[in-house]
């Protein structure tokens, strides 16, 4: 059994997407999966990489590189799935690599820098300077909401 979190401290599960170091609250993570077979969905919004069958439960898989306007993953590169708990059910985020769990004092979270790409900063809740790089804290509600730019089906 783990010790309770100190007041003002949040644990973040970290991962990488296209060279960016991102984190989401551990409490939002249901599980992390190695490369999974996805079923493509015709006419699905462009950010949906496919559907994943998780022990009989069908879960949409969102391609983080598409959401963040990053170059497509090479076919030789694998993907990992970070399955999130959301109000509407589980959603998987397709990421490049999984990192560690880090504890961050909420006072260390800074506002999103203005010099970040607008395609990235629109999904962020804040940033935190770590020892060697900047952690981009993902706002999971915004990331899984496909009512905006990625709700369309045009893949060109």
pLDDT tens per residue across span 19-42: 999 999 999 999 999 988 899 999
Kindly report the CATH number assigned to the domain that includes residue 18: 2.40.50.180
Tell me whether residue 110 is in a domain.
yes
Tell me whether residue 151 is in a domain.
no
Instruction: Specify the pLDDT at position 73.
Output: 83
Q: How confident is the model at residue 78 (pLDDT cuts 50, 70, 90)?
A: confident
State pTM to two decimals.
0.84
Top-confidence residue, 4 or 22: 22
> Is pLDDT above 60 for 137?
yes
Q: What's the structural domain count of the chain? A: 1
Contact 91, 59 (CB under 8 A): yes
Tell me whether residue 156 is in a domain.
no
Instruction: Specify the pLDDT at position 129.
Output: 94
Measured in whole angstroms, the distance separating CA 130 from the mean position of its chain's CA atoms is 19
Measured in whole angstroms, the distance separating CA 126 from the mean position of its chain's CA atoms is 14
> Is pLDDT above 50 for 128?
yes
Q: What is the mean pLDDT of residues 104-125?
A: 90
Tell me whether residue 152 is in a domain.
no
Q: What is the mean pLDDT of residues 82-101?
A: 94
Domain coverage including residue 81: 9-140
The pLDDT tens digits for 42-52 are 998 889 999 99
Q: Is 102 left (phi over 0), alpha (psi -120 to 50) or beta?
A: beta
Beta strand ranges found along the chain (DSSP E): 9-17, 20-25, 29-33, 48-54, 57-63, 80-84, 91-95, 97-105, 124-129, 134-138
Instruction: Specify the pLDDT at position 156.
Output: 46
Secondary structure (DSSP) of 73-84: PPTTS--EEEEE
Tell me whether residue 2 is in a domain.
no
> Is pLDDT above 60 for 153?
no
């Amino acid at each position: 059994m783990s010790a309770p979190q100190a007041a003002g401290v949040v644990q973040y599960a970290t991962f990488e997407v296209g060279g960016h170091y991102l984190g989401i609250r551990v409490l939002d993570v249901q599980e992390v999966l190695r490369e999974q077979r996805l079923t493509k969905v015709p006419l699905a919004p462009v950010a949906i990489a496919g559907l994943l069958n998780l022990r009989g439960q069908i879960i949409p898989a969102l391609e983080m590189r598409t959401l963040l306007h990053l170059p497509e993953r090479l076919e030789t590169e694998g993907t990992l799935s970070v399955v999130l708990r959301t109000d509407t059910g589980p959603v998987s985020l397709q990421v490049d690599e999984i990192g560690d769990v880090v504890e961050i004092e909420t006072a260390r979270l800074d506002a999103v820098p203005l010099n970040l790409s607008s395609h990235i900063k629109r999904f962020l809740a804040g940033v935190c300077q770590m020892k060697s790089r900047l952690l981009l804290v993902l706002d999971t509600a915004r990331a899984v909401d496909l009512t905006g730019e990625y709700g369309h089906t045009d893949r060109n």
